[in-house]
Structure 1
Amino acid sequence: MAATSSPGYVGNLSSDQEAKLRQIWSIILTLNDIPQPEFQDVTLENEEKRPRSIHRRSSSLTKTVSNTTNSNLPKDLDQTLLGLGINGSELKTVRDCLNQASIDEIRRSLLSTAKQDHPDSLLLRFIRARKWDVSKAFAMMLEALVWRVKEQHVDGMIVSNSELRALKEEQDKSNPAKAKAGSTFLAQMRMGKCYVHGTDRAGRPIGIVKARLHNPKAQSEEVIKRYILHIIESARLVLVPPVESVEYAPVKFLIDCFQANYPESLGVMLIHNAPWIFSGIWKIIKGWMDPVIVSKVDFTYTAADLEKHIAPEQLVKELGGKDQYEYKFIEPVEGENEKMADTVTRDALLSEREKIGEDLLKATAEWIKVAKEDDRDKIAAVKERRNDTIEQMRSNYWELDPYVRGRGHLDREGVIGVGGKISFYPTAESKIQATETKAVAVKYIASTQARVVDAQV
């Protein structure tokens, strides 16, 4: 990971960027009925003033959405969003989302999505993805949270649906459909279609995807989506489209994941040794993609090309580097998820997390309040207390993790260590420790990732 944060990231925000961050937190506080200062106190001082246009727009938009008012929505939410200049379609998106999921579900989804990540980092990804337009970022975030909890059921169907469960499904011949789903899911893990190993020159974990191993007919669309989300949730955004064949359904799903539901998580995508036919495919694919993501794609053909991004010591030998690592899937073992059966401890830790989440919202409201005051010492003290709460949330996640997440290959390989420590070159001792523990915490990789797609035919 880089020694210093890039501009626009936690630890390196301009005053305007920090104000934008407070704005989106202000909306979240309003959503959760947390008392806070008047909205005007957290707007940007140097932002262009538009009182007349906002007034006219607010009147018009309020009439537009009045017929779909949900009595469960906080009364001040509309005005907070309208004050930010939200347009009609974005406001409709917000209302649609809040009609699909309750505010409690949204709050729990936000806590779950954050995992051990700094919550400001999570929100900033949406803000950067929407070019610092806070109302657009909030609408995008809300859609992503509803997508997780209502459409894909990420926590219930993906995170807890472990590799060990897939192995048991594969072995249970009494249910042929489940056996096939489990078998084809694990087949992708075993062949090493996608794996995470090493870091690039910017310190970002490298995800290697062997597109030539993808056979569209070898698994159902449901299984490939399960595999994609399993990889994303296990290694936090590592997979890229299998581009050697014109199989657009999973590609569209991946692009939607990257752009809408896991924004600002791609550092660079290196497409290596792409065949000539890919040029036509690429013209279609990039039309679905945000120009910012397209700009992060680089085509490479030699080891020297790759080494512009990845040091030779971190580049695996199959791509012409010096790293002798070879991927080999480590099979799940009985008992590795035994803590997931302890629902009493799980529920206690989840309740603790809810309480920490409430404390964070209150601490954030205090931060927003003091930010308008010209008292650096007071602001620093409030920020420190808030950071302490965020650290409690991170610590809580490591305790909770083995009770809600099935172990994966990276756990068994020793890459993910106890307490979330990451080592792409684990010692024999750390591998033994990971095996004996049977329930180790997954490290959320906060930095965006580099990905290499080996597109050889």
Structure 2
Amino acid sequence: MTSTNTPSGFIGNLSTEQEAKLRQLWTILLKALEASGVEGPPQRKQSVSGTDSNVSGRDSTASTRADSSQFTKSLQETGLNATQIRVVQQALANMTTDELHQGFLTSFKNENPDVLMLRYLRARKWDVCNAFAMMVAAVEWRVKEMRVEEVLQNGELHALKQEQNSVNPGEQKDGSSFLAQSRMGKCFLHGVDKIGRPIVVIRVRLHKPGEQTEEVLNRYIVNVIESVRLLLRQPVETATVVFDMTGFSLSNMEYPPVKFIIRCFEANYPECLGVLLIHNAPWIFSGIWRLIKGWMDPVIVSKIQFTKSVRDLENYIPRERIFKELGGPEDWEYKYIEPEQNENKRMDDTTTREALEEERRDIVKELLTTTSSWITATENKDNGQVQTTKARRNELAEQLSANYWKLDPYVRARNYLDRAGVIPDVGFQPQQVVKMEKELEIEQHETAPAHVLSA
């Protein structure tokens, strides 16, 4: 995909107005991080908007009011009106300085931070304040509700150890039910579609309500999403999802996980879904679909297509990459690879991890400073400085990606995709044309049919 066919609103094809919106979103984030003391550890647990979460007394109240007043003033200086400022402050009301800082550092992982920011802007139709509120809510969900980093640190080996723990039956069941989903291949990644998007296949008939708790199922879903997300790299920023409904019956239907997946696509991982194919759905699904459709944002609904045959799938996936179970010619089937006892050994090396995390903080600190300089240079119409700071920001984004891949084995437990070689030990580097296993080889395609690009 070249710059000539990069969709509008993506890096490489931003209008003057869209780039201005990106700078404005960065400005608000910089103000919030400045208020939270991003350059050093926070001195107390205070929400960025000025609500003190664990400090009481007259002095702290006065300080809180001063902090709030100062933050409001800094937002006013950006040109926001009173309504917009309230949107920003309400978004930050439940976030402590620690949470905002750490959530920001961990949310973009191997991505260019601009890519992440643009996802929220597109999802909120370029309304900057609403995009900021959406971004903060997603960070809050990651840090406080879902605890995504903890989910990734535990992973499949942790579940295996739980399964082997006969002393604690509850923990044993959680571990067993988590792994059972991977072992049966309820959800897996296989190949790419016509424009290079990773394909995630969900075999709905394998889901049995009650065989796993809602918490275990949600952790499994997040583990899959976060793993696939590591394979998204410009120009490929979205994934294709195939809900294989072959053999589906009402006994497979469970609404809470459906709602959770919808929430993930809409709120917590916006603009990560390219197209969702509901394949071979039986007639009994039509009533269920009418109900589910009503829960969805129209943007998500527009990305959903129904397919019945291989010919339908070929509109999105090359025929030779459609495996036999879906009716295609490819001789491939999912086979789970069990965790190895020492596969997460590097996670015990806290010295290396802390050094890499410190390196990451330094890169982020320079990125924030350079972003501020870019914004100032644009306001001053200093075109030379604008180009200099843009180039430096691109370099820092690449440094952040490289840093993440060095840090990855120290903070994320290995999973099936690592063992299968889909995520190489050196990190997923499409610019080096890393080849996957034959059946999961990922290629970047320059062109695709118009109906696929618009899906």
- Give the structure-2-normalised TM-score: 0.81
| Aligned residue in 1 for 2:291 | 284
C-alpha separation in 1, matches of 2:242 and 2:210: 19
Say if 2:30 is the partner of 1:29: yes
C-alpha separation in 2, matches of 1:240 and 1:285: 17
- Structure 2 unaligned spans of 5+: 36-61, 230-238, 442-455
Residue identity (%):
50
Question: Do the aligned residues in 2 keep the contact of 1:126 with 1:141 (CA within 8 Å)?
Answer: yes
C-alpha separation in 1, matches of 2:325 and 2:67: 56
| Aligned residue in 2 for 1:347 | 354
| Aligned residue in 1 for 2:427 | 419
What amino acid sits opposite 1:187 in the alignment? A
Name the Cα RMSD after superposition: 2.7
| Aligned residue in 2 for 1:12 | 13
| Aligned residue in 2 for 1:398 | 405
- Offset of residue 238 of structure 1: 7.1
**Partner SS, residue 218 of structure 1:** coil
C-alpha separation in 1, matches of 2:242 and 2:330: 22
- Offset of residue 32 of structure 1: 1.9
Question: Do the aligned residues in 1 keep the contact of 2:240 with 2:276 (CA within 8 Å)?
Answer: no
What amino acid sits opposite 2:21 in the alignment? K
Question: Do the aligned residues in 2 keep the contact of 1:329 with 1:409 (CA within 8 Å)?
Answer: yes
- Offset of residue 83 of structure 1: 3.5
One of 269, 276, 279 as aligned partner of 1:269:
276
- Offset of residue 419 of structure 1: 2.6
C-alpha separation in 1, matches of 2:381 and 2:74: 27
What amino acid sits opposite 1:316 in the alignment? F
Question: Do the aligned residues in 1 keep the contact of 2:241 with 2:275 (CA within 8 Å)?
Answer: no
- Offset of residue 374 of structure 1: 4.0
The count of aligned residue pairs is 395
C-alpha separation in 1, matches of 2:33 and 2:124: 23
C-alpha separation in 2, matches of 1:154 and 1:268: 24
**Partner SS, residue 154 of structure 2:** coil
C-alpha separation in 1, matches of 2:267 and 2:382: 38
Distance 1:8 1:406, change over 3 A: same
- Offset of residue 155 of structure 1: 0.5
Residues 91-106 of structure 1 mapped to structure 2, 5 A cutoff: 91=86, 94-106=88-100
C-alpha separation in 2, matches of 1:285 and 1:78: 44
Question: Do the aligned residues in 1 keep the contact of 2:112 with 2:397 (CA within 8 Å)?
Answer: yes
**Partner SS, residue 305 of structure 2:** strand
Distance 1:164 1:346, change over 3 A: same
- Give the structure-1-normalised TM-score: 0.80
Distance 1:393 1:228, change over 3 A: same
What amino acid sits opposite 2:181 in the alignment? Q
**Partner SS, residue 235 of structure 1:** helix
Question: Do the aligned residues in 2 keep the contact of 1:2 with 1:203 (CA within 8 Å)?
Answer: no
| Aligned residue in 1 for 2:70 | 75
C-alpha separation in 1, matches of 2:2 and 2:188: 22
- Offset of residue 79 of structure 1: 5.9
Question: Do the aligned residues in 2 keep the contact of 1:209 with 1:242 (CA within 8 Å)?
Answer: yes
**Partner SS, residue 199 of structure 2:** strand
Say if 2:125 is the partner of 1:171: no
- Structure 1 unaligned spans of 5+: 35-66, 432-457
Say if 2:108 is the partner of 1:114: yes
C-alpha separation in 2, matches of 1:10 and 1:77: 31
- Offset of residue 188 of structure 1: 0.3
| Aligned residue in 2 for 1:303 | 310
Distance 1:320 1:242, change over 3 A: closer
What amino acid sits opposite 1:208 in the alignment? V
One of 142, 147, 168 as aligned partner of 2:141:
147
Question: Do the aligned residues in 2 keep the contact of 1:228 with 1:239 (CA within 8 Å)?
Answer: no
What amino acid sits opposite 2:86 in the alignment? L
C-alpha separation in 2, matches of 1:230 and 1:239: 15
Question: Do the aligned residues in 2 keep the contact of 1:185 with 1:223 (CA within 8 Å)?
Answer: yes
One of 100, 124, 132 as aligned partner of 2:126:
132
C-alpha separation in 1, matches of 2:82 and 2:2: 35
What amino acid sits opposite 1:291 in the alignment? P
Higher relative contact order (CA 8 A, sep 6+): 1
| Aligned residue in 1 for 2:449 | none
Distance 1:141 1:86, change over 3 A: farther
C-alpha separation in 1, matches of 2:80 and 2:191: 42
C-alpha separation in 1, matches of 2:65 and 2:414: 40
